[in-house]
Amino acid sequence: NEILALKLFQGENFCKLYEYSFDDKVYIMERIVPAHTLYESALRNERIKIAGEIFKGLHKT
């Protein structure tokens, strides 16, 4: 679920999860506001490379 994913990737290309409650179905996480979207700030091949690096970093051993 989303909370488990946020806990696993705490601060690694993801926002930080500060508090959560399964009972209340709420969570408090870091707010992230990008200065530029990936689409605006890079050429197509660069966007593909950046996205690939992010997805590669998601694989935990």
Residue 11 is predicted with a pLDDT of: 67
pLDDT digits (tens, 9 = 90+) for 30-54: 998 877 777 777 788 998 998 888 8
Residue 18 is predicted with a pLDDT of: 92
Residue ranges of domains in the chain: 2-58
Quickly state the pLDDT bin for 60 (edges 50, 70, 90): low
Rounded CA separation 28/26 (Å) = 7
pTM here is 0.58
Amino acid code (one letter) for 23: D
- Which value, to the nearest 10 degrees, does the dihedral of the CA atoms of residues 54, 29, 22, 56 take? 10
Whether the pLDDT of residue 14 is over 90: the answer is no
Evaluate whether 26 touches 20 at the Cβ level (below 8 Å): yes
Count helices and strands in the chain by DSSP H and E runs = 3, 2
